[in-house]
Homo-oligomer: A and B are copies of this chain.
Amino acid sequence: MLAEIITIGDELLIGQVTDTNSVFIAKQLNKIGVSVYQITSVQDDKAHILQALKNAEDAVDIVILTGGLGPTKDDITKKTIAEYFNDTLVKDDSVLENIESIWKQHIKTELLQVNKDQALVPSKAKVLMNKLGTAPGMWVEKGNKVFISLPGVPYEMNALIENEVIPKIKNKYNCPFILHKTLLVYGLGESALAARIEQWEDALPKHIKLAYLPNLGQMRLRLSAKGEDEAQIIKDVDQEVNKVLPLIKKEFFGFEDEEGSVEVTIARQLTKLGKTLAIAESCTGGTIAERFTVNSGASTYFNGGVVTYATESKINVLGVSKTDIEMHSVVSSKVAESMAKNTMQLFKSDFAVSTTGNAGPTKGDSDAEIGDVFIGIATKNNVYSEKFNFGNSRVKVVNKAVNKALEMLLKEIFKN
Contact = CB atoms under 8 A, between A and B. Distances in A.
Contacts of A43: 37-38
A88 interface: no
B39 A26 contact: no
Contacts of A23: 15, 17-19
Interface of A: 9-20, 22-28, 30, 35-44, 48, 52, 55, 70-74, 107, 109, 112, 114-115, 132, 153-155, 158-159, 180, 182, 189-192, 194-195, 201, 209-214, 222, 224, 278-279, 281, 284-290, 292-294, 296, 298-299, 302-310, 312-313, 316-317, 346-348, 359-362, 364-365, 391, 393-396, 398
27 contacts: A10-B224, A13-B38, A13-B39, A14-B180, A15-B25, A16-B213, A18-B23, A19-B19, A19-B39, A38-B52, A39-B40, A109-B192, A114-B191, A114-B195, A115-B191, A155-B393, A279-B307, A285-B292, A286-B290, A287-B293, A293-B309, A296-B360, A302-B310, A304-B313, A306-B317, A313-B346, A316-B347
Given A317-B347, A347-B310, A364-B299, A222 B11 contact: yes
A307 B289 contact: yes
Contacts of A72: 190-191, 194, 212
Which are the 8 A-B pairs with shortest beta-carbon distances? A285-B293, A286-B289, A15-B27, A15-B26, A286-B286, A304-B313, A39-B41, A286-B290
Nearest to A191: B71
Nearest to A343: B317
Given A312-B303, A347-B317, A394-B296, A13 B35 contact: yes
A302 B310 CA distance: 7
Given A42-B38, A346-B317, A73 B194 contact: yes
Nearest to A20: B18
A18 B287 CA distance: 17
A130 to B, nearest CB: 14
Given A70-B212, A155-B395, A317-B347, 7 more contacts: A11-B213, A15-B28, A16-B182, A16-B222, A159-B393, A303-B309, A312-B348
B348 A316 contact: yes
Given A213-B16, A296-B360, A313 B347 contact: yes
Nearest to A303: B310
Contacts of A362: 296
A357 to B, nearest CB: 12
Contact of A201 (B16, B73, B284): B73
A52 B40 CA distance: 11
B211 A11 contact: yes
A201 B72 CA distance: 11
Given A72-B191, A214-B70, A299-B310, A36 B16 contact: no
B107 A189 contact: yes
Contacts of A214: 70, 153
Contact of A41 (B38, B71, B312): B38
A195 B40 contact: no
A414 to B, nearest CB: 23
Nearest to A159: B393
Nearest to A360: B296
Contacts of A305: 286, 306-307, 309
A38 B48 contact: yes
Contacts of A293: 284-287, 307, 309, 398
A298 to B, nearest CB: 6
A9 B212 CA distance: 10
Contacts of A17: 23, 213
